[in-house]
């Protein structure tokens, strides 16, 4: 019972310490990479089906309409907008804004963010070799009251879009596409998370956003999610360290147990030898008596 409690205590202590390291790593990586803020295990399961505004014929029966979102952003008189993440109900479109990205004007107390899914048929179908896949999303921000349109973030925001599953799990790269007026696309320096079907990029302004899909050999300048890689490595290291700590504790306990058994056997063996010596002396004494 004591050895079991000792092993559990060692494992719990190591787990708590490494969990603290993991949380600190997630916070650090998450401050640089919005994809890291999503649940880690989401990358190890099949993502949800994509919600199309105008689905392909083969998907019309099971398709669900994509969600739009309207959000209120409070504006402090001096610091402006707080750092916050806004996500549609179906998690297909997100925007993270930094503190001070939106400043109040004329005494305004808030801003309204609207995220609206649109059919891609009304927009250019490609930029270079990157084909538009999925819905186009319009991000619009207005200052309230007054309805003044925000045309630029004072601090870049981060846009994340969930995109449809590609024809194959490998061989494709995705970039975030941006358009201010919906007439032409610009490919942004992006982070693609294929297992989660998410693409992220910094956004200098509201506007139109879409995911662009390119064959891997023809992809141009996309990035990879180093934040996800860091968190995954730390997660694996935590599991490995806990297992190693339990094994080391078990080896030490077995070593102490074996040493105790050896000492007990030696003690009992010594006591037996002394007893036999006393018996021999008594027999010799009896033989000498007349």
Last residue of a domain, one of 174, 200, 224: 224
Say if residue 27 is in the same domain as residue 154: no
CATH number, domain of 69, equals 2.60.220.30
C-beta separation of 198 from 161 below 8 A = yes
Locate 142 and state its tokens. 């207005």
Render each residue's pLDDT in the chain as its tens digit; 290 residues: 555 555 555 555 655 565 555 555 555 555 445 554 444 334 445 689 999 999 999 999 999 999 999 999 999 998 999 999 999 999 999 999 999 999 988 888 999 999 999 999 999 999 999 999 999 999 999 998 888 999 999 999 999 999 999 998 888 999 999 999 999 999 999 999 998 999 999 999 999 999 999 987 654 444 444 455 555 666 677 777 787 878 777 787 777 777 777 777 667 666 556 666 666 666 666 666 66
For the chain, the 3-state helix, strand and coil shares in percent, each to the nearest 5, are: 40, 30, 35
DSSP state of 99: T
pTM of the entire structure? 0.65
Q: How many domains does the chain fold into? A: 2
Say if residue 10 is in the same domain as residue 25: yes
Report the alpha-carbon distance of residue 268 to residue 264 in Å, rounded.
Answer: 6
Say if residue 234 is in the same domain as residue 220: no
Say if residue 59 is in the same domain as residue 177: yes
Say if residue 90 is in the same domain as residue 168: yes
Last residue of a domain, one of 191, 224, 257: 224
Strand (E) or helix (H) holding 260: helix 226-288
Say if residue 91 is in the same domain as residue 215: yes
Going by C-alpha positions, the residue among 201, 161, 209 that lies closest to residue 181 is: 209
Q: Looking at residue 240, what is its pLDDT?
A: 79
Q: Looking at residue 43, what is its pLDDT?
A: 44
Report the alpha-carbon distance of residue 160 to residue 190 in Å, rounded.
Answer: 10
Say if residue 95 is in the same domain as residue 173: yes
Q: Looking at residue 225, what is its pLDDT?
A: 46
Q: Looking at residue 260, what is its pLDDT?
A: 73
Q: Is residue 109 included in any domain, yes or no?
A: yes
Q: Looking at residue 95, what is its pLDDT?
A: 97
Report the alpha-carbon distance of residue 133 to residue 10 in Å, rounded.
Answer: 50
The domain in which residue 5 lies consists of 1-33+229-290
Say if residue 87 is in the same domain as residue 118: yes
Report the alpha-carbon distance of residue 111 to residue 150 in Å, rounded.
Answer: 9
Q: Looking at residue 41, what is its pLDDT?
A: 38
């Amino acid at each position: 019972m004591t050895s079991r409690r000792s092993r559990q205590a060692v494992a719990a202590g190591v787990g708590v310490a490494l969990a603290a390291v993991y949380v600190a790593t997630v916070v650090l990586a998450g401050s640089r990479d919005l994809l890291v803020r999503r649940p880690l295990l989401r990358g190890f399961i099949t993502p949800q089906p994509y919600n199309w505004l105008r689905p392909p014929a083969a998907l019309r029966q099971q398709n669900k309409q994509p969600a739009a979102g309207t959000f209120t952003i409070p504006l402090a008189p001096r610091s402006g907008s707080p750092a916050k993440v806004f996500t549609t109900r179906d998690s297909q479109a997100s925007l993270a804004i930094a503190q001070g990205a939106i400043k109040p004007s004329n005494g305004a107390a808030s801003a309204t963010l609207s995220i609206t899914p649109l059919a891609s048929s009304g927009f250019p179908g490609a930029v270079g070799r990157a084909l538009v896949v999925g819905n186009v999303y319009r991000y619009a921000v207005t200052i309230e009251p007054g309805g003044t349109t925000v045309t630029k973030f004072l601090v870049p925001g981060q846009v994340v879009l969930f995109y449809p599953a590609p024809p194959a799990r490998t061989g494709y790269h995705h970039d975030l596409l941006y358009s201010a007026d919906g007439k032409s696309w610009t490919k942004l320096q992006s982070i693609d998370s294929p297992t989660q079907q998410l693409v992220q990029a910094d956004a200098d302004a509201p506007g139109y956003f879409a995911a662009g899909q390119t064959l891997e050999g023809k992809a141009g300048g996309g990035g990879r999610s180093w934040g996800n890689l860091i968190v995954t490595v730390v997660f694996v290291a935590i599991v490995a360290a806990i297992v190693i700590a339990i094994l080391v504790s078990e080896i030490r306990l077995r070593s102490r147990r074996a040493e105790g058994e050896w000492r007990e056997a030696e003690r009992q063996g010594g006591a037996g030898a002394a007893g036999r010596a006393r018996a021999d002396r008594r027999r010799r004494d009896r033989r000498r008596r007349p």
